[in-house]
Structure 1
Amino acid sequence: MTKVSAEGAAGDEKWRTSLGDLLSFYYPMHYRIGIDVETVMGQGRISRKQGTILWLIHSRADKDGWLRRKIIEKRLSAWFEISNSSVSNLLRELTRPPLELVKQIENPTSGREKLVSLTPEGRAFLDESIRRSIDYLGTHLEHIDQTQLDRGIQFFKVAFQPLSSDAPPPDTEASD
Structure 2
Amino acid sequence: MPEQRPRGAAGRAVSPRHLVVAGLLALVPLVTGCGGGEDGEADAPRAAKVTAAPTAGVVAPAKVEVIAGLTGCEAEIRIDADELRQGVCRTERADFLITTFPEERLKETWLDSASVYGGTYLVGTRWVVGAEPEHLGPLREKLGGTVRELRGIGAAPES
Shorter-chain TM-score above 0.5: no
- Which bin holds the TM-score, normalised by the shorter protein? under 0.3
Q: Structure 1 length normalisation: TM-score? A: 0.24
Larger Rg: 1
Q: Structure 2 length normalisation: TM-score? A: 0.26
Structure with bigger helix share is 1
Structure with bigger strand share is 2
